[in-house]
A and B are shown apart, each in its own frame.
Chain A
Amino acid sequence: MAAGKRIRLWFLVHKWTSLICTVFMLLLCLTGLPLIFTHEIDDLLSGDPPYVELPANTPRANLDRIIEASRARYSSEAIRFIFIDDEEPQVVVTMSPSTDSDPKHNHSLKFDARGGKLISEKPPEAQSMTFMGLMLRLHIDLFAGLAGELFLGFMGLLLVIAIVSGMVLYGPFMKKLDFGTVREGRSARLKWLDLHNLLGIATLAWAFVVGLTGVINELSTPMFQYWQSQTLPALLAPYQGKPMPPQREMAAVQGIYESVRRAMPESVTVSIVYPTEKFGSPQHFILWNKGNTPLTSRLFTAALLDARSGALVAIPEPPWYLKALEVSRPLHFGDYAGMPLKILWAVLDVITIVVLGSGLYLWIARRKQTGERITQLERRHEQLAGAAARAS
């Protein structure tokens, strides 16, 4: 009896957590499917010319020349950040009307990292939303910023609870059945129940990991804000009362880059974030660096340098929650072991869509069944009442 009650409770947990999150999870599975192949689709759609063949020992372009070329093109604008790719020979400069504009006004210039030649430009999202940009926004925040991120994060949490409760229910459901049993020919509902259980239990670990790491990814904005609030005040204390320097008075970026490379020879610098009032430090360049082993290449360490002098100020050890976030990224994206893993990710994503869809179907079918049963009872009751009336 106690066991029966426990099963009923788990069933209610499974039903309600799934019901609330299913529509959003279907959206996330559908938008996530193309996002697995972001890199390939971007390459296909970008229309950028292929990189010119250059000898392997061609020196890298001076970052200051690339910055000059960007400024020459948009003299009234500010540079937000610079991405230095370590896979392809590209340096991408992101600019916007001012250092603290809404990020939807960001636009980017792609340079060849070797010759420093401008390859292509990407307009701001506000001007022309690409298909992949749309998928990304629907997947991350439903165009609602932080509120959307937290909402979808909460839906992800419900999915994780639905997965755990589904696992608990699998035991009693399968007590008399062999693994993989699909009872066909009795009723559609029974067949889909078996399919739901089989597909769900076989992909349980994957769905759990992708769901949980998705939740962690949705918390990245508050995590970075918290990290900034813990790291920056002490570093900003000496600058009290001083305004953010204008970009033309800031230290030359190539020198900054080289001093960080000397200080952290075991890592690679992947991005340079310019001083900003809202999104980082107003008095520091922040350079993000990653390690060179499979695991440490996922972990980023920040180096902070004085905006005017370019002096290296601090290389704070990343806290555990940022490490957890950074390890969560590949585990959610599935982009960390070549094309076969991406294909498996896509197949598992489609299986998850079937699990979600069949779950929804089972709920509707069950409701219909319950509804029919109630109609039956009502009819019988009326018949009885009618018979009683005639008899009297």
Chain B
Amino acid sequence: MSQPAGLRKVWGAPLLLAALTVFGLLSALLGTGVWHWLAWIAIGIPVMVLAWYLWPHGSRKRST
């Protein structure tokens, strides 16, 4: 069955991206000024991560 290490391998990145998104959505809602900047960065990270993985000729990982 799935060991903690396997769990972390599968869920580490998704959970981190979800946590960043939630942080961004809330900091945009509850704060102003610098909190809006943090929100843009936090919500932007999942988009940047996708761009990094999907960019053609990028350092995308290929399975064999």
Contact = CB atoms under 8 A, between A and B. Distances in A.
Interface of A: 167, 170-171, 174-175, 177-184, 195, 198-199, 201-206, 209, 294-295, 298, 327, 330-331, 336-338, 340-341, 344, 347-348, 351
Given A181-B61, A206-B21, A294-B30, A348 B47 contact: yes
Given A175-B6, A181-B63, A202 B28 contact: no
Given A205-B21, A331-B25, A336-B29, A183 B40 contact: no
Interface in B13-41: 13-14, 17-19, 21-22, 25, 28-32, 36, 39-40
A352 to B, nearest CB: 12
Interface of B: 2, 6, 9-14, 17-19, 21-22, 25, 28-32, 36, 39-40, 43-44, 46-47, 49-50, 53-54, 60-63
Contacts of A178: 9, 61, 63
B62 A337 contact: no
B54 A182 contact: yes
A341 B28 contact: yes
A75 B28 CA distance: 45
Contacts of A174: 10
A344 B12 contact: no
Given A201-B17, A294-B30, A336-B28, 19 more contacts: A175-B2, A178-B63, A180-B13, A180-B53, A180-B61, A181-B61, A195-B54, A201-B14, A202-B46, A202-B49, A205-B22, A209-B21, A294-B32, A295-B30, A331-B29, A337-B36, A341-B28, A341-B39, A344-B43
Contacts of A175: 2, 6, 10
18 contacts: A170-B10, A171-B2, A174-B10, A178-B61, A180-B60, A180-B61, A195-B54, A202-B17, A202-B50, A204-B17, A204-B18, A205-B17, A331-B29, A341-B28, A341-B36, A341-B40, A344-B44, A347-B47
B8 to A, nearest CB: 11
A76 to B, nearest CB: 44
A298 B30 CA distance: 10
A180 B9 CA distance: 12
Contacts of B6: 175
Contact of B11 (A171, A180, A298, A337): A171
Nearest to B6: A175
